């Protein structure tokens, strides 16, 4: 596989559930990102990891917990979500997070529905 | 507070026509303005970007026009094709951080055959 792969593609979860989103990149990049894309709203950057270290958390609620075990994998652990968290969650990667964020490659996203 | 205002929200163009999408931004100390293309069921992809030491950048049928004094930039798609039907969104750098961007809310383009 090439590029940025996200699993699952679709996820429906209850507000009391715990689930995880997975992202894997095969591009040899060193930076990975989580974005949230809600209908009719601008893309929102959630977290930035550069060389496995979290360098940015854009005031994301603690019910979203990222994990980056290595430069190729990124997870987003979800627990006690709210219906307003329903959105498309996009993972992206770039060569590094130093001025390259705009050139990131995106995965296809996980469509999350919280019921 | 919306830092990048994108218009129109949706656009219908006949095949062969010109599609024009506009963005207006607020203050930024940095000059790198990308446009992204997103097909249904896919993630966004960087389409074209401009550094406004020039007022226009062209790549194939896609052109960015930049008006620094008006803080506006636009995407023109010449000879629009049905395969161009997608959502397009612009981005502008945040204030004093060249590695953070405000994104527009997107324009859904439908090119009719």
* pLDDT by 10-residue block (mean), chain B, 113 residues: 86 98 84 91 92 88 92 96 97 75 94 96
What CA–CA distance (Å, rounded) separates A31 from A9? 22
pLDDT at B96: 64
Q: Which residue of A has its CA nearest to B30?
A: A99
* Interface contact B43, partner A, CB < 8 A: yes
State whether B43 and A103 contact (CB < 8 Å). Answer: no
Distance from CA of B104 to the nearest CA of A (A): 5
pLDDT in tens, A13-44: 999 999 999 999 999 999 999 999 998 889 99
Distance from CA of A18 to the nearest CA of B (A): 25
Instruction: Give residue for tokens 């950048």.
Output: B57
Exposure letters B61-82 (e unless 16+ CB within 10 A, then b): ebbbbbeeeeeebbbbbeebee
């Amino acid at each position: 596989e090439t590029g940025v792969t996200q699993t699952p593609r679709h996820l429906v979860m209850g507000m009391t559930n715990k689930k995880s989103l997975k992202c894997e990149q095969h591009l040899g990049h060193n930076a990975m990102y989580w974005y949230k894309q809600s209908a009719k709203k601008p893309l929102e950057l959630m977290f930035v990891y550069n060389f496995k270290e979290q360098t940015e958390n854009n005031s994301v609620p603690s019910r979203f917990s990222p994990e980056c075990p290595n430069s190729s994998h990124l997870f987003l652990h979800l627990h006690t979500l709210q219906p307003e968290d329903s959105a498309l969650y996009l993972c992206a990667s770039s060569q590094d997070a130093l001025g390259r964020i705009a050139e990131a490659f995106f995965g296809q996203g996980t469509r999350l529905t919280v019921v | 507070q919306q830092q990048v205002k994108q218009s129109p929200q949706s656009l219908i163009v006949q095949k062969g026509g010109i599609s024009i999408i506009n963005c207006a931004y607020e203050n930024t100390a940095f000059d790198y303005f990308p446009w992204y293309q997103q097909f249904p069921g896919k993630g966004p992809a960087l389409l074209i970007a401009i550094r406004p030491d020039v007022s226009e950048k062209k790549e194939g049928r896609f052109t960015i026009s930049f008006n620094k004094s008006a803080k506006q930039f636009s995407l023109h798609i010449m000879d629009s094709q049905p395969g161009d039907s997608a959502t397009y969104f612009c981005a502008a750098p945040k204030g004093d951080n060249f590695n953070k961007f405000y994104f527009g809310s997107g324009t859904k383009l439908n090119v009719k055959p």
